[in-house]
Each structure stands twice: as structure tokens, then as C-alpha cells.
Amino acid sequence: MSNEGRKRGGALSYIIALLAIFALNFILPRMMPGNPLQAIYGDEALVAMTPQMEAHLTELFALDKSWSEQMVAYVLALLQGNLGFSYYYKDEVSSVIMGALPWTLLLVGLSLLIATVVGVMLGIESGYRRGERIDRGLLAGLMLLGGLPDFFLGIVLLLIFGVSLNLFPLSGALTPYSGLEGFPLVADIARHLALPLAALVLVDLGGIYLLTRNTVVTILKEGFMLTARAKGCSEFCLRYSHAGRNALLPVTTATGLRIPQLITGALFIEIIFSYPGLGLMLRTALDARDYPLIQGILLLVTVTVLFANLFVDQIYKRLDPRTRYAH
Amino acid sequence: MHIDLGHEIRHDRMALLGILVLAAILLMAIFAPLLSPYSPTEYTGRIFSSPSNDHLLGTDSMGQDIWTRLLFGARTSLLVAASVALLASSLSVLIGASSALVGGLYERFWMRIVDVMISLPTIIVMILIAAYFRPNLPLLILLISAFSWPGGARIVRSQVLTLKERMHIYAARTFGADQRHILKNHIVPDISPIIASMMIQDARRAVFMEAGLAFLGVSDPLIISWGKMMHQALAFTYLDVWKWWLLPTGILLSLTLVSLSFLGVSLEAAMDPRLCRHEHEHGHEHVHENWNDDVNEREYGNEREENENGEVGSLEAGGC
């Protein structure tokens, strides 16, 4: 099979996956017993709803029509970016989500960056010193950390640094009504971010470290490493330009696969630290059974993950010249 | 692939440690009613009591004995782990092996489904489904299994593809063996170490998912679960109660997960000829196998196959 064919095959899977999620979002509430409006919006929502609003929503989603007409209405609404109405926040789901999204992006983006850089560097250094004490210590420690469930690691950090030592704030993303501006505001945000970020990075670090380390260990045996040493490369150049460059490929692929883990990890961590991102919002929505909001958040996360995977596929092709020139 | 897994595990300290911890938790689960005089759902008369002779770990906000709930929570976790491991790995073997043996449209159909399911963020989809159904235990097991088989099916398929070209399978075929006989008597025994490591991974994921869903509060509220205990305890971090409520639960859950990972990594290492034990190169191949990238599977897949052939030779020659 040619490269082209493989690329198309990959994209097709993503398209099917996306359609499957849309279908799931459409079918799940309609499979529930009872009035469809009640199933889509939940019992609690109906109590708060005015008859006009009920009529409007019924019309919007064609709930009194056949399934096929409902489907058309659903797709049309999605195409217009209309994810429905959150009764709990009394606002459009899309704008409610937009309010929480920046905090999650900040958390996930920063931990992706930090964990990748630190993980790769530790992996290279550790692999290069294979079998020495520092290597064995790092290996055991990080494997143990990686084995812990992310929400428990978050809880431990919260209990130690937040509750017992009282070093960091217990919840939130910034001090409310503080009126801070400029640098103090940034410092305040950083102080609130520190613990959730540390938890997420620590959980994520193990995988990327282990992968880099093991790749470096196999690369050390390669002939080109001997050549590089023979031609007088410095230690730094050996480690980073030769071993590190070759470890980049598996690390890139793994990064794509870490994104879903990071996002789901962030959902849990946000709940623990009451960090006002999508995770905390999801928890609120789950507790309140605010189904349109649950669907909206999960849809957004799924689409992000699918695009991240697709993006990594493309990057991979650029990084590995072999997949560009072959066939 | 002929590996004596029992021998490998007995000689690996990490695996032994994992098995010991798991065995202890299993005993806790089995003898739960003997280890505690209370029922896990019973109101004992006092809420938030500190650890005492009556209540080993005190009582929670509902006045239930925490130690008892821990014991019964172990039952839930292990039951989910074992059921999912059996169900998901059976699906993986059935679908993976039949795809490789039948081929054609059938194979393409299943592999497409595997590709699609692997590209989805599983936990997210499960949260969505659980939010609607609030699944009870059997439904939860089915739900987790339904999302756990695709990765294993892909591994089994690639293994069977190389296996079915081996001489002894050809020989069996010339004797008139049909596909089912070959699958049952030749292929499954040959890939049994892979199945074992797959089951451990499925079990680990199942424990995590059950706890995770309960932690989010989307599984059946009647299930006694470590995840749910943490969910409840997290609301009371301002009291001292977290020391004997939140912490022991989290530690027990972590111990279970870490033991399963240790066992899994050890099995992986036992199967990988490139990772000689004393070099501590655990987990390399494990990561590759889990990568869901077509390009990757292609490149490393070939490498694996060569290595496996080489390995049989080297083991017979007493290598490694």
C-alpha cells in the first residue's frame, strides 16, 4: 500500500469516529424512556422551564416530528454551532464552554510542554547513563508515579502542600475580587496553577521519560553513535543531536497519544483543585444532570483529541524523511 | 513463542511484589465479612468518628464504617477487573485471530472498527454513556469491556498473521484441520503469553475506569466503590477525616493499580527478547504495541516479527 493510501485510510477512520460521536450524542438521549425533551434536558431542567421555552425547544429540535426530521434539525443546529441551552448556567452551551476553555487550555498546554521537555531531557540523560544509580532511581521513581491514578496524585499534592503546609491556595484559578493587575495578577494565577500543573506533569512525565530512555538505550548501540564519537563530537552533541534527534520520532507519536490522556487527566485534576476549567464544569453538569452541557463538553474534547491525532500523523511524516520519500 | 511465564515471574522481583500485593487485596475481598463486624451500608450511630477499637478507620459522613467499605470496595474493583479482563481479552482474541485467519472484507471491516475505536478518547465516551445510564455493576463491566478490546485485537491479529505462515500450522492444515481447530489447538496456545499480558492491562484499565467513573459520580450509587469513597471524602478535606478516609482509599487503589502495572511490565519484558532482564529495559515494546499509529505498526511490526523468530532460536540455544 502506498503512502497516499495510508494517509487516506487514516483520515477516513477519524471521519468515521467523528460521525460515530455525533450519532451517539443524537441517539443516547432519545433512547431514554419518557418525553424526549425531558431526556435531552433532564428532569430538573423541565421544572425550571417556561411553556414558551418548552415550545421553542421542541420546535428547534423538531422533537414532535419523526426521527429523520429530528436528525436534520440536530445536524443543522450543530452546523450553526448551536450546542443547545444549559439550564443550569442559563446560557448557550457554546458560550458557557468558552468561558471555561481558556483555563483548561492553559493547564493542558503548559503541562504538555513541561512534561515533554523535562521527560525527554531526563530520558536522554538517564538512557545515556544506563545502569548507573541515577538511572535506576529515576526509572523506579517515575514508573511508580506513572502507575498512580492521576486523581490520587492530585489529592496527595493538595493534602500535603495545600491543606497541611498551607503553601498554596486550595481552589480556584485566581483570588476573587482582589483587583490585581499586571504582574501581581500573573503571580496570583501562577500560584493557583502550580499544584494542578505539578500533578498533571508528574502523572504524564513517566510515559514520555520511559519511552525516550528506552529509545536512547537502543540507539546507543547503533553504528552511527560510534562514528559520531570517533569524529570527535562533544558529549552534548552525542546526546542531543544524535541520540536525542533519533528519539524524537517515537516521542512525537506518543505525544499525540498523550493528549487524550492529558485532557482526561486535566478533567479529574480540575475537579480536585476546583480549578474552573472544563473538568469542574463537567462535574457540575454531571451533578446537575445538565445533559446539553455534558454533551457539549464531551463533544469538544473528542473533536480536539481527533484533530490532535490527525495533526500528529502529519508531523510524523515531516519528521521521518523515510515516510516522505518511500514509494 | 514458547515462554514459561511462571518461571519468568518467579524470577522477577517486581512481578513477585505485584502478585503479593494483589493476593493480599484478593484475600481482603474474599474474607471481607469475616474481617469486619459491620455491614458496609449500615449506619453505625456516629458520623466522623476517629479511628478507635470499634472502628479501625473511623466512620464517614454517613456514619458507615470506613474499613468495612474499603474491604467491600476491593470486591467491586477485583470483580470488575477480572470480568473485564476475561470478556475484553476474549473479544480481542476472537476478533483479532478470526480477522487474520479469514482475511478479505471481514478483516478490513473489523480493522476499520478497531482504527475508529482507538482514535476515540475512550474515557470521555464512557463518561457520556454512563451519564445517561448510571450503569449498575454488570452494565459497567459490559461498558468497559466494549471499549477495551480494540488494542488487543490489533496485537493478536498481527501475531496470528505471522503465526499462520509457520510450518506446524501448514502441517495441521494438510492433515485436514479446519480454522476452528487451528485457532483452538495451535494459535491460542502459541499466543497465550500475549493474552496473559493483555488481560493484565485490561484488568488495570478496568480498575482505573471503574474508580474514575465512580469518582465522577456517574455509576450506580449503590455500588460500593473506592472511586465513590474518594468522591465523597473529597468534600471534607477541611476536616481531619481525610487522614483515615481519603488517604487509605487512595493508597489501596494506587497499590492495586501499581501492582497490576508491575505485573504487566514484567510480562512484557519476559516476552521481549531485546530486553534482557538484568538491563532493566522494561516497557519499551509495550509502548510500541500500544501505539495506534499505522506507520508505527508497520515499521515496528516487521521488526517485532524478525525478533520473534530470532528469539525462539536464541532461547533454544540458551541465549539471553
pLDDT digits (tens, 9 = 90+) for A231-262: 888 888 888 888 888 888 888 878 877 888 88
pLDDT at position B95, please? Answer: 93
Once rounded to an integer, what is the mean pLDDT over residues B239-249?
80
Q: What is the pLDDT of residues A177-228, one digit of tens each?
A: 666 677 778 888 888 888 899 989 988 888 889 888 888 888 888 888 888 8
B293 touches chain A (CB under 8 A): yes
Mean pLDDT of A307-326: 72
Summarize chain B as % helix, strand, coil (round to 5). 75, 0, 25
Q: What is the mean pLDDT of residues B260-286?
A: 61
Residue B137 to residue B47: CA distance in whole angstroms? 28
- The confidence score (pLDDT) of residue B87 equals 96
Chain B residues whose beta carbon lies within 8 Å of the beta carbon of residue A131? 279-280
A217-256 residues touching B, CB cutoff 8 A? 217-218, 250, 253-254, 256
Chosen for mutation from A12, A152, A166, A221 (greatest number of chain B CBs closer than 10 Å) is A152
Please indicate if any CB of chain A lies within 8 Å of the CB of B317: no
- Cβ–Cβ gap A6/B294 under 8 Å: yes
Structure confidence at residue A34 (pLDDT):
62
Residue B207's closest chain A neighbor by CA?
A149
Mean pLDDT value across residues B49-65: 75
Strand partners, B65: B59
SS (H, E, C) chain A: CCHHHHHHHHHHHHHHHHHHHHHHHHHHHHHCCCCHHHHHHCHHHHHHCCHHHHHHHHHHCCCCCCHHHHHHHHHHHHHCCCCCEECCCCEEHHHHHHHHHHHHHHHHHHHHHHHHHHHHHHHHHHHHCCCCHHHHHHHHHHHHHHHCCHHHHHHHHHHHHHHHCCCCCCCCCCCCCCCCCHHHHHHHHHHHHHHHHHHHHHHHHHHHHHHHHHHHHHHHCCHHHHHHHHCCCCHHHHHHHHHHHHHHHHHHHHHHHHHHHHHHHHHHHHHHCCCCCHHHHHHHHHHHCCHHHHHHHHHHHHHHHHHHHHHHHHHHHHHCHHHHHCC
Nearest neighbour of B242 by CB, restricted to A32, A159, A272 = A159
Residue A46's pLDDT band, with cuts at 50, 70 and 90, is: low
Task: Give mean pLDDT, residues A78-85.
Answer: 78
Using the beta-carbon criterion (under 8 Å), do A136 and B121 form an inter-chain contact? no
Angle at B219 between CA B136 and CA B57, to 5 degrees: 105
Closest CA of chain B from A178, distance in Å: 23
- Mean pLDDT lowest for which of A18-32, A151-165, A308-322? A308-322
Encode pLDDT of B158-211 as tens digits.
989 888 888 888 888 899 888 888 888 888 888 888 898 899 999 999 999 999
Chain B positions touching A20 (Cβ under 8 A) are 116, 120
Average pLDDT, chain B: 78
Report the pLDDT value the prediction gives residue A252, as an integer from 0 to 100. 81
Q: Assess whether pLDDT exceeds 60 at residue B311.
A: no
Q: From the CA of A43, how many Å to the nearest CA of chain B?
A: 12
Is 80 exceeded by the pLDDT of residue B127?
yes
**What pLDDT digit, counting tens, does each position of A284-298 carry?**
888 887 788 888 888
Set of chain A residues whose Cβ sits within 8 Å of the Cβ of B280:
130-131, 135-136, 139
Q: Per mean pLDDT, which of A150-154, A265-269, B202-206, B313-317 is the most reliable?
A: B202-206
Q: Is the minimum CB–CB distance between B217 and chain A shorter than 8 Å?
A: yes
Q: What does pLDDT average to over chain A?
A: 80
Residue A325 or A196, more confident: A196
pLDDT attached to residue A262 = 87
pLDDT tens digit sequence for B80-118: 999 999 999 999 999 999 899 888 899 999 999 998 888
What pLDDT shows up at residue B282?
Answer: 42
Q: Which of B6-15, B119-128, B281-290, B299-308 has the lowest mean pLDDT?
A: B299-308
The confidence score (pLDDT) of residue B106 equals 93
pLDDT over 50 at B295, yes or no: no
CA distances from A127 to A2, A210, A212 (A): 35, 9, 8
pLDDT value of residue A48: 64
What's the DSSP call for residue B50?
P
ipTM: 0.80
Q: Tell whether the torsion through CA atoms of A130, A133, A134 and A137 is positive or negative.
A: positive
Percent of chain A's residues with pLDDT above 70? 85
- Locate the chain B residue with the closest alpha carbon to A260: B121
CB contact (8 A) between residue B261 and residue A143: yes
B303 inside 8 A of chain A by CB: no
Checking if the pLDDT of B298 tops 70, the result is: no
The beta-carbon neighbor of A136 closest among B128, B217, B280 is: B280
Q: What is the pLDDT of residues A114-163, one digit of tens each?
A: 999 999 999 988 888 888 888 888 888 888 887 788 888 888 888 888 77
Cell numbers for A118, please give them. 523535562
Confidence (pLDDT) at B209: 92
pLDDT at position A49 = 67
Q: Give dist(CA A118, CA A26) in Å, integer.
A: 42
Taking contacts as CB-CB distances below 8 angstroms, the residues of chain B near A323 are: 295
The x, y and z cell numbers of residue B146, run together, are 466494549
According to the model, what pLDDT value does residue B274 have?
54
Beta carbons of A250 and B254 less than 8 Å apart? no
Least confident of A283-297, B14-28, B142-156, B275-289: B275-289
Least Cα separation, residue B58 to chain A (angstroms): 19
CA–CA min distance A183, chain B (Å): 31
Q: What is the number of other CB atoms lying within 10 angstroms of the CB of residue A244?
A: 23
CB contact residues (below 8 A), chain B span 256-275, against chain A:
257-258, 261-262, 265, 274
- Judged by CB atoms closer than 8 Å, whether chains meet at B120 and A306 is answered as yes
Which one of B108, B120, B276, B289 makes the best mutation probe of the A interface by having the most chain A beta carbons within 10 Å? Answer: B120
Predicted pLDDT of residue B206:
94
Query: Cβ of A294 and B128 within 8 Å?
Result: yes
Higher-confidence position of A213 and B38: A213
Q: Which residues of B touch A149 (CB under 8 A)?
A: 208, 211-212, 250, 253-254, 257
Res. B245 pLDDT band, cuts 50 70 90: confident
A286: nearest CB among B115, B217, B265: B217
Is the CB of residue B200 less than 8 Å from the CB of residue B267?
yes
Which carries the bigger pLDDT value, residue B225 or residue B279?
B225
Q: State the pLDDT at residue B310.
A: 34
Q: Which residues of A touch B244 (CB under 8 A)?
A: none
The one-letter amino acid at B175: F
